[in-house]
């Protein structure tokens, strides 16, 4: 996993309700490596290239929420915009049938490394990207495209640009089963009301809106919400 072109770090992450995880992530947001232009063709600029490889507070909250969800062997779960796939790793270790997905060409290799570090079996990964974009090539994605429908779709910190509320809602609708449930952890970036409206238009009712808070001594206090939607 070590690369001469970017720096990583390995740390133990505490997840409420689950065993700790060993996670390899990018050292900081200054890392960048796109020699073939794959990330650029997938719509990832140099400024946002490193975001997938950072540990975000919302992803830890999503992982903690999944750690408490009863495992149903017949339920198919999808994590979208997974980044380092913390929630997927927690659910996978508990025996859930989960697929991780992201648009970043390095997300799959980081997932494979973190599976190895935690002595876990293979976890399915698919390329998943919302919004208007050309069909990517397998050479750029490094993974097959997402195409199935899922009973539970989860994600964290996905509403960070003005066009995200509609694009994300349409993407969820495309991959949601008829009686699907959707869990989104949102750190209050301002786009939640628009996302709620788009989800409702597509037939998803907001069934739960739980406030999440965290007081940390070495960083800014966290405040967000766990949004749970169900088909109307």
∠ CA 81-38-117, rounded to 5°: 55
Q: What is the CATH number of the domain that holds 99?
A: 3.40.50.150
The answer as to whether 166 is a domain residue is: yes
Q: How many CB atoms lie within 10 A of CB 125?
A: 25
The answer as to whether 46 is a domain residue is: yes
The answer as to whether 213 is a domain residue is: yes
Q: 114 lies in which domain range?
A: 8-231
Beta bridge partners of 181: 152, 230
Per-residue pLDDT of the chain (232 residues; tens, 9 = 90+): 667 799 999 999 999 999 999 999 999 999 999 999 999 999 999 999 999 999 999 999 999 999 999 999 899 999 999 999 999 999 999 999 999 999 999 999 999 999 999 999 999 999 999 999 999 999 999 999 999 999 999 999 999 999 999 999 999 999 999 999 999 999 999 999 999 999 999 999 999 998 998 866 556 789 999 999 998 7
The answer as to whether 189 is a domain residue is: yes
Supply the pTM of this predicted model: 0.95
Number of domains observed in the structure of the chain: 1
The answer as to whether 23 is a domain residue is: yes
The answer as to whether 131 is a domain residue is: yes
The answer as to whether 57 is a domain residue is: yes
The answer as to whether 1 is a domain residue is: no
């Amino acid at each position: 996993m070590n690369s001469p072109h970017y720096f990583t770090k390995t740390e133990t992450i505490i997840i409420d309700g689950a065993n700790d995880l060993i996670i390899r992530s990018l050292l900081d947001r200054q890392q960048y490596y796109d020699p073939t232009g794959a990330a650029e063709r997938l719509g990832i600029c140099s400024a946002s290239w490193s975001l997938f490889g950072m540990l975000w507070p919302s992803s830890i909250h999503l992982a903690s929420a999944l750690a408490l969800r009863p495992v149903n062997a017949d339920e198919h779960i999808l994590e979208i915009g997974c980044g380092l796939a913390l929630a997927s790793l927690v659910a996978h270790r508990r025996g859930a049938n989960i697929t991780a997905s992201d648009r970043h060409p390095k997300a799959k290799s980081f997932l494979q490394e973190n599976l190895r570090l935690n002595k876990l079996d293979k976890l399915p990964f698919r390329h998943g990207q919302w919004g208007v974009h050309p069909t990517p090539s397998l050479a750029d994605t490094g993974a097959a495209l997402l195409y199935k429908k899922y009973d539970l779709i989860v994600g964290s910190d996905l509403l960070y640009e003005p066009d995200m509320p509609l694009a994300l809602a349409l993407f969820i609708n495309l991959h949601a089963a008829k009686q699907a449930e959707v869990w989104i952890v949102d750190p209050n970036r301002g786009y939640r009301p628009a996302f709620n409206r788009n989800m409702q238009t597509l037939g998803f009712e907001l069934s739960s809106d739980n406030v999440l808070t965290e007081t940390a001594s070495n960083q800014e206090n966290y405040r967000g919400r766990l949004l749970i939607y169900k088909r109307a």
